[in-house]
Amino acid sequence: MSEPTEAGRKFLDEVNEFCGYKARWLVKYDEPTDPRYGWVPWERPTDKYIEYGVINLDKPPGPTSHEVVAWIKRMFGLKRAGHGGTLEPARP
């Protein structure tokens, strides 16, 4: 296996372990990934790392979730950010 292929498999395992997700991988094509394209997420350059990032934020109790997201957006100078908090789901 080439380096990013091995690192990619390790990263996918980390993603599953993050919330204790249990599943078995069924392999269809055991082939390597070309190091010229994309990045293993931990190795993204700084700007891309932010663009594809999430923050598990310990929200301070005073401000609303929307206010906190607006601050984060401004601190990073981003156009878009969103939270997975108190927003009520629109039922499908």
Partner 1 sequence: MLPVALARMTRVVGSVIHSSKEYVCVMQLHAPVDEDRLRSVIEEFVGEIYQKPPVRSSVKRALRTKRINRIELLEYTGKYALLHVDCEAGTYMRKLCWDIGLVLGVGAHMRELRRTRTGPFHEDKNLVRMQDVAFALIRLRDEGKDDLLRRTVLPGEFSVCHIPKVVLRDSAVESVVHGAVLNMPGIAMVQDTVKKGETVAMLTLKGELVGLGVAEASAEEMLEVSKGPAVRPKRIIMEPGLYPRMWKKKSSESPGRSGQTS
* Interacting residue ranges for partner 1, rule: CB under 8 A: 4-5, 7-9, 11-12, 15-16, 18-19, 21, 23-34, 37-42, 44, 46, 49-60, 65, 68-69, 71-72, 75-76, 78-89, 91
CB of 13 to partner 1, least distance (A): 9
Shortest spacing between CB 59 and partner 1, in angstroms: 4
Widest pairwise Cα distance in the chain? 51
Say how many Å lie between the first and final Cα of the chain, rounded: 42
What does the alpha-carbon distance between residue 23 and residue 2 come to, in Å, rounded to a whole number?
24
